[in-house]
Chain A
Amino acid sequence: MVEYAYIIFDIAYYISLIAILLSFIRFYLGPTAADRVVALDVITICGINLIIQIAMRAGRIVYVDVALVYALLSFLGVISVARYLEGGL
């Protein structure tokens, strides 16, 4: 069973990569700025998953902190774009 587990983790990794590619199409197409920010949000969240999966392969807990900071920065980025669209920035 254990050897299958790593193969399944690999499949999950590649599915997250495909998810990033799909939202990248929306990022390219998106007619308005808000569409692009939604796509960017999804890309960032899939990116957090990828970072944690890479951390598990490398066996280094430091990468988990990297993912935490990445999540924080993406949240701040989305909030500031929202403020900009409202005209408050």
Chain B
Amino acid sequence: MQKTFNMEEYILIFRHPDGKKVASPEQIQAWMKQTMDWIGGIAAQNKFSSGTGLVFENAKVVSHKSVENIVTDGPFGDIKETIGGFIIVKADSVEEAVGFAKGCPVLQGEGNSVEVRKIARRDGLH
């Protein structure tokens, strides 16, 4: 039987240095396919929880009140990087989650990175 007990959930966040870069439809399609294969591989191990891409169009950033324009179109301008999407996986350890992240097609893009963070359990300890 598969071990599903004692598993933690980790979020893998896709980070891009510049959300304004426009990819060609062909590039986007190829990237989508690779991403689907990557996620499919994780799901085939029964380690996929959930996930979604994020749309850049109409994105807004709400800033601290001291900044004049509280809501900006964006994200991007001053901010060094932006988030393109995320998935949540089940893993026995952070190392396993990092192993999944290493296969993420986002990493083929220069300057891109995947942030791995454990999801806090609602047990009052985290």
Chains A and B come from one and the same complex = no
